[in-house]
A and B are shown apart, each in its own frame.
Chain A
């Protein structure tokens, strides 16, 4: 698996470089940077397990908590993925599980297990911009977006918190939740440090910030991230704990059986 991955990355780079040689000075195009950033951020490792603590804070400072264990398995670098989530908090949703099959080229498949009525329900939502578990993050913010969906322009190079980064403007090719996205991407490890989303009124309405980046299992991981809705004042802070990569999570975990009865060895 790992070899395949390295191979694919090398291939991608080769294609990219072969393609953009005209750029000269070894400069990456905006598209390359976004592509690489997506892989580093959403496709790190072959699989991943993390305990996610999310705090949703409204304008008045009131808080709601979401605590969940998240399992992720990649099937193809930059391609299909599966997510499994088990909710520990809030108390009245304990044992609720949620599963997403992510397909970059079409709508996700989502299933929710509602323990109170012992029901697994498939959810079809034809947009990727709805809120992820009531937070300011959208599904796309959690699982990524295909680079081909936007037109990317490298605006400039910048220094953010002492780190060199690329500032890239991405404009959706077809109607989308946002009309423009500006990303600050670390020039060394390609993790997004900051993103600003512009709405239909051409005003910033959401701002993403990576507040803490740590090496976990040798993989650089954003362990604390914040998404703030600058218009409503609502914000969501997600902290990733116990992050582990390349655990060899089995394919069978991502099934209705485990939705109903969460896989104890993985979620504890």
Chain B
């Protein structure tokens, strides 16, 4: 059937190309509809329970997205000039549309409750800017006298102040952050440094960087691959079919993705980069085979048809196994990963279609004279490279036992490495360490209580439960425990507010810096508090009916591992100190959400890997009509994958989102070499009827094609290392590594195995395939 297709397209090459180009234009027209999604919450399903709960917590406690400005003066901020500038910055920030004025927290806008001569005084820390040393001293006393604000709006060493800026809508954050930056630039001088942090900023920057990746890194990788192809074939025109194949499959896939309404997430932004090298693998086999045959026959049509005939099966199976590898990602519980996997799978099959149609059509249009002239030149040059390949072939053939022992050793080391693997991720670390987001994050975590937020939601199941002194004291105890952990920088809750009021009402007597022991007292203190500020001051900590409370936990690190430790330690504490009757405690917050989806990712990927391993294995058994050959074809890539992951474990690289994704698809890609190798070997063995002769043949054109592929695909991912986003870097490095391992395994381990067991295999197990001839 495919042969008929090839014959048709060879007869009408121009029409074929035209049809595909028109279809491509249709897909390209979808591009302007692109929507970028950088919300980390979307890593979870809309209905995932932890996400639903997080949304509920945000709604119940009126939690908005937050931008944070840090202003640092190494000489200290307590001088009238710096304070004046900070005040001006805060005043101007309030004027930015979209900023929630009454919820801005800073020295300028926040109110302090103190006791002076028996009077309860409520006033802004810096309603007026202190000029005299005495006034500055009294401001200092006021701020450091209120633990609620230390480590929050002021650093302990007095060198940094911060402004927390809640915004109404997240999609405004880019504009708002630009306006804030303009204010900071205008109002501060060289003595003060400023840092802008907060999730919305990170997300925006990330979205922007993603565009850069797609607009710059992906085309760069394209050019790089083009250069590699040129080096392999040494002929300009040979670069055209594979490049066109790669480009069209990218356009079709992204066009379909955008056109069917999916958003482009960090994962899907990587599609072009993944697809390009994979799409053109089969084309290299075609070109390589075609050039060899054409130099013998000088008949384009014949040479093409012959080449294709040998390649239909391996090309189909390499494509389908890669597609299965990616498609297995559909088993993951993470929507962006699912979209990524399914669309790459689509792209691979589209590329397969192009390989069978458009690529032969383009070859048919190549100028015969130039082709002939080129091939003559090539013949001479190639002989030296062939010698190396032949030596390589002999080495793997005659040193088979040694190779197997070495492989076994590598395998064992790999497994040991895998045991060292540490599962961990932190989306902030998706930026490189020298990125300004990372720098801001570091600075803020150094001066303040921590930029990573998690919440402990306390549900008392009845109205006013939180006002119960027992419950309130429990919150206080829970906080003390949390604050005893090194990674936790600060916690805040309604208990802090109650304690503060108690303390202040009793003329700042330390003995009253405690939770009062009657419900009336707590109720009346909270009532008093509600008379001193805004009606929504308490909202972040206490719900409207005083049924639920929310403890804010600021952490200095957002690694999943750190979150897990805090979670475990708190779990222990709760087990040993059970909360009062009827109190339910549950984690939430973005740092926690990140941990949740990462957990899902690890298990989801494991499922995907095992799933695709099985499918690929069955495909191989079917393809070779032999159980043992199926197993043998899977072995080299298992060694390759295990060593790659072993290396991850041994080097101490965290098993994070990109690595997890790589794992699922490494299988489908690594098997490609083995399929080509075994398929070609089978054919050769059938014709030559001798293991040695078949090996000698393999060390020629097939090795060349496989090696060409290996070079393109491992080096083709390398431009990713230049990316500003670490997931791209990780993927690039890891794939280059994996492909190198797979090539070695295919070209060294596979021949060695076949040398040892091949004869019995091909004569007994492979009987149905070529048994008849074997008997001769």
Interface residues of A (CB under 8 A from B): 56, 58-60, 62-64, 90, 92-93, 96, 98, 112, 114-117, 119, 121-127, 130-136, 199-201, 203, 205, 229, 231-232, 234, 236
The interface stretch among B146-154, B226-234, B330-338, B520-528 is B520-528
Q: Which A residues lie within 8 Å of B544 (CB)?
A: 58, 60, 62-64
Whether the pair B505, A123 counts as a contact (CB closer than 8 A) is no
Q: Which residues of B contact A90 (CB under 8 A)?
A: 523, 527
Q: Quick one: given A122-B118, A134-B527, are A116 and B535 in contact (CB under 8 Å)?
A: no
**CB pair A112 B123 closer than 8 Å:** no
Give the docked Cα–Cα distance between A143 and B139 (Å): 31
A114 near B122 (CB under 8 angstroms)? Answer: no
Closest to B519 in A: A92
Instruction: Give the residues in chain A near B521, CB-CB below 8 Å.
Output: 114, 116-117
Q: How many angstroms between the C-alpha atoms of A115 and B519 in the bound complex?
A: 12
State how many angstroms separate the Cβ of A225 from the closest Cβ of chain B: 16
Chain A contacts for B100, CB-based, 8 A: 231-232
Nearest CB in chain B: distance from A65 CB, A: 11
Q: State which residues 705-761 of B face A: CB under 8 Å.
A: none
Docked Cα-Cα span, A220 to B522, in Å, equals 40
Contact A92 B467, CB 8 Å, known A115-B520, A133-B530, A203-B97: yes
B residues near A122, Cβ cutoff 8 Å: 118-120
Kindly state whether residue B533 has any CB partner on chain A within 8 Å. yes
Q: Once bound together, how far apart are the Cα atoms of A203 and B96, in whole Å?
A: 11
- Residue pair B99, A92 in contact (C-beta under 8 Å): no
Given contacts A201-B101, A203-B97, A232-B536, contact A130 B122 (CB under 8 A): yes
Question: Which of A62, A131, A205 has a CB less than 8 Å from the CB of B531?
Answer: A131
Question: B93-131: contact bitstring with A at CB < 8 Å (1 yes, 0 no)?
Answer: 011111111100000000100001011111110010000
Bound: A145/B521 CA distance, A: 33
Which residue on A lies nearest to B101, using beta carbons?
Answer: A199
| A201 with B524, Cβ < 8 A, contacts A131-B534, A132-B531 known | no
Residues of B within 8 A of A93 (CB): 523-524, 527
CB distance from B669 to the nearest CB of A (A): 50
Contacts of B120 in A (CB 8 A): 112, 121-124
Which residue in chain B gives the minimum CB-CB distance to A64?
B544
Measured in the bound complex, the distance between the Cα atoms of B118 and A50 in whole Å is 31
Known contacts A114-B524, A130-B122: A136-B535 contact under CB 8 Å: yes
CA distance A59 to B394 in the complex (A): 78
Q: Is B59 interfacial (CB-CB < 8 Å)?
A: yes
A134 to chain B, nearest CB (A): 3
Report yes or no: B533 in contact with A130, Cβ–Cβ below 8 A: yes
Which chain A positions have C-beta within 8 A of B483? none
B18 to chain A, nearest CB (A): 57
Q: Which residues of B contact A63 (CB under 8 A)?
A: 544
Q: Closest approach, in angstroms, between the C-beta of A26 and any C-beta of chain B?
A: 41
Q: How far is the CA of A56 from the CA of B545 in the complex (A)?
A: 12
Interface string of B462-480 (1 = CB under 8 A from A): 0010010000000000000
How far does the alpha carbon of A218 sit from the alpha carbon of B190 in the complex, in Å?
Answer: 67
Closest to B544 in A: A62
Cβ of B532 under 8 Å from chain A: yes
Query: Least Cβ distance of A106 to chain B in Å?
Result: 15
A62 CA to B546 CA in the complex, in Å? 11
Within the complex, the shortest CB–CB distance from A52 to chain B, in Å, comes to 15
* A130 and B532 contact, Cβ closer than 8 Å, known pairs A122-B118, A200-B94, A201-B95: yes
Candidates A96, A125, A131, A133; contact of B524 at CB < 8 Å: A96
Q: Which residue of A lies closest to B502 (CB)?
A: A117
Cβ A134 vs Cβ B520 within 8 A = no
CB distance from B616 to the nearest CB of A (A): 51
Does B168 sit within 8 A of A, measured CB to CB? yes
List 14 interface pairs A-B (beta carbons < 8 Å), by A numbering: A62-B545, A92-B524, A92-B527, A96-B524, A98-B531, A116-B516, A116-B521, A124-B119, A124-B121, A130-B531, A205-B101, A229-B535, A231-B100, A232-B62
Nearest-CB distance from A223 to chain B (Å)?
A: 23
| A23-B745 Cα distance, complex, nearest whole Å | 100
Partner of A133, one of B101, B531, B534: B531
Q: How far is the CB of B521 from chain A (nearest CB, A)?
A: 4
Q: Is B518 an interface residue (CB 8 A)?
A: yes
Cα separation A124 to B124 with both chains bound (whole Å): 12
**Is the pair B527, A119 in contact by a Cβ cutoff of 8 Å?**
no
A58: chain B residues at CB < 8 Å are 539, 544
Which residues of the partner chain B approach A123 to less than 8 Å between Cβ atoms? 119-122, 531-532
| Contact in complex: B534, A130 (CB < 8 Å) | yes
Interchain nearest-CB distance for B96 vs A (Å):
7
**Chain B residues within an 8 Å CB radius of A64:** 544
B102 CB, nearest partner CB in chain A, Å: 8
Alpha-carbon distance A98/B524, docked complex (angstroms): 12
Of chain B, the residue at the smallest CB distance from A109 is B119
Chain A residue with Cβ nearest B527: A93
Interface flags for B522-562 (1: CB within 8 Å of A; 0: not) read 11110110111111100100011100000000000000000
**Nearest B residue to A56 by beta-carbon distance?**
B535
Closest to B93 in A: A200
Measured CB to CB, the closest approach of chain B to A101, in angstroms, equals: 14
Instruction: Report chain B residues within 8 Å CB of A203.
Output: 97
In the complex, what distance in Å separates the CA atom of A234 from the CA atom of B100? 13
Are A116 and B524 neighbours in the complex by a CB distance under 8 Å? yes
* A184 smallest CB distance to B (angstroms): 24
CB distance from A95 to the nearest CB of B (A): 9
> Which residues in chain B, 22-67, are within 8 Å of chain A measured between CB atoms?
59-60, 62
B462 smallest CB distance to A (angstroms): 14
Inter-chain contact A117/B505, CB cutoff 8 Å: yes
A60 contact set on B, CB distance < 8 A: 59-60, 544
Bound complex: CA A200 to CA B108 (Å): 15
Complex Cα distance, B120 from A236, in Å, reads: 26
Which of B98, B99, B127, B530 has the most A CB atoms < 10 Å from its CB? B530
| Nearest CB in chain B: distance from A89 CB, A | 11
Q: Which 3 A/B pairs are nearest by Cβ-Cβ distance?
A: A92-B523, A134-B530, A62-B544
Q: Could you say which residues of chain B place their CB within 8 Å of the CB of A205?
A: 101
Please tell me if the beta carbons of B532 and A125 are within 8 angstroms of each other in the complex. yes
Q: Give complex CA distance A201, B60 in Å.
A: 26
Residues of B within 8 A of A234 (CB): 535-536
**Nearest Cβ in chain B — how far from A174, in angstroms?**
12
B530 & A92 in contact (Cβ 8 Å cutoff): no
Closest to B98 in A: A201
B95 with A114: CB separation less than 8 A:
no
Rounded to whole angstroms, the CA-CA distance of A132 and B40 in the bound complex is 40
B505's partner among A121, A124, A135 (CB-CB below 8 A) is A121
- With both beta carbons as reference points, the residue of chain B lying nearest to A91 in the complex is identified as B523
Give the docked Cα–Cα distance between A91 and B93 (Å): 40
* A contact residues around B525 at 8 Å (CB): 114
- Asked if A200 and B531 make an inter-chain contact with CB atoms under 8 angstroms apart, the answer reads no
Q: Which residue of A lies closest to B512 (CB)?
A: A117
How far apart are the CA atoms of A135 and B530 in the complex, in Å?
A: 8
Which residues 595-633 in B have Cβ within 8 Å of A in the complex? none
Give which listed residue, B102, B122, B527, B543, contacts A124 with CB less than 8 A: B122
- Give chain B interface residues in 574-595, CB to chain A under 8 Å: none
* Structural contact, B535 and A201, CB atoms closer than 8 A: no
Task: Specify which of B127, B524, B545 is in contact with A126 (CB 8 Å cutoff).
Answer: B127
CB pair B59–A119 under 8 Å, yes or no, is: no
Nearest CB to that of A92 among chain B residues?
B523
A133 to chain B: which residues have CB within 8 Å?
Answer: 527, 530-531
Residues of B within 8 A of A115 (CB): 520, 524
For B121, the chain A residues whose CB sits under 8 A away are 123-125
Q: Are A119 and B505 in contact (CB under 8 A)?
A: yes
In whole angstroms, what is the CA distance A231 to B544 when docked? Answer: 18
Which B residues lie within 8 Å of A121 (CB)? 118-120, 505
Q: CB-nearest residue of chain B relative to A235?
A: B535
Residues in A with CB closer than 8 Å to B516 are 116
Q: How far is the CA of A222 from the CA of B686 in the complex (A)?
A: 102
Min CB gap A110→B, angstroms: 9
Which of chain A's residues has its CB closest to B530's CB?
A: A134
Least CB distance from A39 to B in Å reads 27
Given contacts A92-B519, A116-B524, 15 further A-B contacts (CB under 8 A): A60-B60, A62-B543, A112-B528, A114-B521, A115-B520, A116-B521, A121-B119, A122-B120, A123-B531, A124-B122, A126-B127, A130-B111, A130-B532, A134-B527, A201-B94
